[in-house]
Chain A
Amino acid sequence: MKTSKEFDNILNECLERLLVKGETIEQCLQSYPEQAAELKPLLQTALVVKKASAIQPRAEFKAKARYQFRSALQEVASRRSRPFFGWLPRWATVVTIVLILLLAGGGTVAAAGNSMPDNPLYPVKLATEQVRLVLTPSQLGKARLCARLADRRVAEIIYMANKGDAHQVELITQRLDKRLVMLAVLALALKADGAPKVLAPAPAEEAGGDRGTYAQPNNRAKLRMAVAYYAANHPAALRAVLEKAPESVKLALLRAIAVSETGYKRALEALD
């Protein structure tokens, strides 16, 4: 009679042979005829469990997840490539962009702020957003900005969907996805680092709008509330458009809904 420990070892060896090396139950039992009666039902159960658990992720999900993970990788890499003393060239780029925008006229930048993707000033709007992201010093500030930019993207998707432009809806959805991935990554970084005690002020978002001090202890909670608000409203707003939208944009809209639902859910989990 084998001890329990010896039997555990025999069972494990048979499982390795059965599940990894592809041997049959009979081959295992021949090696241990004394334990065959006890081993057989356990090995049969193991085979059933193995078969039942051979599930695979959906190909569509894998492709989407891969894209989002690549975006997150790039986001993390771009954040890390900005050490304190290594940022001058980037600053120079930013200053150049700002100067160009100023030369183009402050009114141009202001006008671009409300432009939609079919407007010639829309690239100025995107460039200005990028500059704001680079200039925002804190992770919390960047996260808040990402949430607001996601809000803008959703407004743009709705606008272009109503115009029946599926291609633009797809393009903006990609930008929305990128912002939501960035938001989740920043939220995770905030969680890992702990909330900063004192943070520098963020640049003004809109004229006369939010100029947070970021020194208040409840700013992370406020960010979560804002993200929760968007999480509840953005997919709902997109679904409302879906009902009335032309057939040609419905597929693109469905993808936008999926991106917003997944993105906000992930961001909220990261903020919990």
Chain B
Amino acid sequence: MQDEQSLVRRAQQHDQEAFAQLYEEHFDKIYRYVALRIGNETEAEDMTQQVFLNALQSISSFRWKGIPFSAWLFRIAHNQAVDYLRRKKHTAVPLDESLASNDNTPQLVAEHKLDIEQLLLAAKQLTEAQREVISLRFTSELSIAQVAKVMGKSQGAVKALQHSAIVALRRALSVTENENK
């Protein structure tokens, strides 16, 4: 945290290398979060870039008040995702075929893609808050404390949301599996 605090302070003082380091550390997580939230690779790529351009523009407004830098970045990503979904009027967007894991084995990629599709389908059954918790916890690997900061909720509320989200996903995934049989 101390290192990150120092990096952010340097970035706020227009140290390009410090900002570039923050960019490298957070890029993949922000991309994963956005991709799962909106389910479209091309849009997720553009939106991820936009998140960092916005961060670059407004980093001077960031203040350390117990909120980690990542929470601030995810907040920007969250706002952009909400804007995007509002523009799309919550229309389900099919996930691009090119969304793939690092695993290059064709069979595994195919299986993985099936999982992503199932997950997106199942995620539609969740509330917006539940989807947010799942995206932040499982794709971006944020701790409960960090998710609580991003969402502006207590840790207890986030744990309860996490629980209900997994229960809802379990139910939805079972339905999806049964439909595919």
Contact = CB atoms under 8 A, between A and B. Distances in A.
A6 to B, nearest CB: 10
A266 B46 contact: yes
B118 A52 contact: yes
B23 interface: yes
A46 B133 CA distance: 12
Contacts of A9: 159
Contacts of A55: 31-32, 35-36, 99-101, 116, 139
User: Chain B interface residue count: which class?
Assistant: 35 or more
Contact of B53 (A16, A42, A62, A72): A72
B146 interface: no
A73 B162 contact: no
Contacts of B53: 69, 72, 184-185, 188, 266, 270
A208 B112 CA distance: 60
Contacts of B36: 53, 55
Interface in B78-130: 98-102, 112, 115-116, 118-119
A80 interface: yes
Contacts of A74: 16
Contacts of B48: 57, 65
A49 B27 contact: no
Contacts of A8: 156, 159-160, 162-163
A52 B115 contact: yes
A62 B27 contact: yes
A42 B50 contact: no
A249 interface: no
A266 B101 contact: no
B170 to A, nearest CB: 4
A51 B16 CA distance: 35
Q: Is the interface of A mostly helix, strand, loop or mixed?
A: helix
A192 B118 CA distance: 39
Nearest to B31: A57
A46 B45 contact: no
Given A185-B57, A188-B53, A19 B14 contact: no
A73 B20 contact: yes
Contact of B112 (A11, A51, A73): A51
B67 interface: no
A53 B138 contact: yes
Interface string A242-272: 0000000000000000000010011001100
A11 B169 CA distance: 15
Contacts of B69: none
A197 to B, nearest CB: 21
Interface string A170-189: 00000000000000110011
Given A61-B45, A69-B23, A266-B50, A53 B156 contact: no
Contacts of B100: 55-56
B119 A11 contact: no
Interface of A: 4-5, 7-9, 11-12, 15-16, 19-20, 41-42, 45-46, 48-58, 61-62, 65-66, 68-70, 72-74, 76-77, 80, 184-185, 188-189, 192, 262, 265-266, 269-270
9 contacts: A42-B166, A42-B167, A45-B173, A49-B138, A61-B45, A74-B16, A76-B57, A189-B57, A265-B46
Interface of B: 14, 16, 19-20, 23-24, 27-28, 31-32, 35-36, 41, 45-46, 48-50, 52-54, 56-58, 98-102, 112, 115-116, 118-119, 134-135, 137-139, 141, 143-144, 156, 159-160, 162-163, 166-167, 169-170, 173
